[in-house]
Amino acid sequence: MEGSVGGLDTPLEISSRVDDIADRLITAIAVGEYLPGSRLPSERDLAASLRVGRMTVRAAISRLVREGLLRTQRGRGGGSFVQNSLSAAAGNSAHPAVHRVLGSRWEVLKDTSEAIAHLQGAVCRAAAENRSEDDIAVLEQCLEAFRRAASGSESQIADEQLHLAIGAAAHNQTLSALLLDLEARVSISAPRHPWGDAEGMRRMEERALRDHEKLIAAIAGQRSAEAGDLGRMHARIDLEMLDNALRRSAPESTVMNTRAKQKQDGN
């Protein structure tokens, strides 16, 4: 997207394109946009979204296959799949990539994420004001699907469907399109929300379920102000996922300096 301010979809320089794409794919795995077992977009789609050649994307994928993060499968239903979580496959060797991608764009990420939170609140408020009985039936079905979904990819997809249903219930295509556009700007590689690492994933899903239940109840009850507040707070989970990944990827020296500063500030 020409002139984008989102920070993660800017064109790559000619030099180090393979390195940059590999870093972005590693980071997408680290933050849980791609979970173990999930399939990456096709080489053509990745090349189009990052505005590089397919050979460059292919070289980056090949590197991650060698590092044990991805596996490739030929034939019908084939493609590139996440083989392992970041910690299981690449260990600390991949952390600098995550730090490079998130650290260099952090201020823009925070700014865009805050805009997303406010816009999500507006969409949820509009849904409470404009929803129909048919919309409520769909929202309740999506909520139940999220409640029953297995942890990980199934839950991630159910979450996506629920939020799309909220956007539809708002009956405002401009608001919904703006929200999807902003969310794409903070997406590192996949058109999905960050889902975290395996260690904290279940706690995050339980928190999201509580948020979803309160939010759907507010929309169904046409409590627009409450729905707006809930939607805005709920949207901030994504930035927390990114912040956690950035903290995990920080070099030990940075962590020690941060702890020392916190200790100094506390005195």
pLDDT in tens, 41-58: 999 999 988 788 999 999
Residue 191 — very low, low, confident or very high, per pLDDT cuts 50/70/90? confident
Spatial neighbors of 124 by CB under 8 A, at least 6 apart, are 166, 170, 215, 218, 219, 227, 228, 230, 231, 232
Residue 214 — very low, low, confident or very high, per pLDDT cuts 50/70/90? very high
Q: Mind giving me the DSSP string for the chain? A: -TT--SSSSPPPPSTTHHHHHHHHHHHHHHTTSS-TTPBPPPHHHHHHHHTS-HHHHHHHHHHHHHTTSEEEE-STT-EEEE-S-HHHHTGGGGHHHHHHHHHTTHHHHHHHHHHHHHHHHHHHHHHHHH--HHHHHHHHHHHHHHHHSPTTHHHHHHHHHHHHHHHHHHT-HHHHHHHHHHHHHH-SSSSS-----HHHHHHHHHHHHHHHHHHHHHHHTT-HHHHHHHHHHHHTHHHHHHHHHHHHHS-HHHHHHHHHHHHHHH-
State pLDDT tens for residues 121-173.
999 999 999 999 999 999 999 999 999 999 999 999 999 999 999 999 999 99
Per-residue pLDDT, 266: 54
Q: Is 253 exposed, middle or buried (0-12, 13-18, 19+ CB in 10 A)?
A: exposed
Tokens 């703006």 label which residue? 178
Q: Is residue 262's pLDDT more than 90? A: no
Q: Mind giving me the DSSP string for 31-57? A: TTSS-TTPBPPPHHHHHHHHTS-HHHH
Q: Is residue 256's pLDDT more than 70? A: no
At 92, list the tokens.
């600390």
Q: How far is CA 78 from the centre of its chain?
A: 24
Q: Give the separation between CA 109 and CA 6, rounded to whole angstroms.
A: 7
Q: Give the separation between CA 168 and CA 31, rounded to whole angstroms.
A: 27
CB 33 within 8 A of CB 25: no
Q: What is the mean pLDDT of residues 238-250?
A: 91
Per-residue pLDDT, 180: 92
At position 216, the amino acid (one-letter code) is I
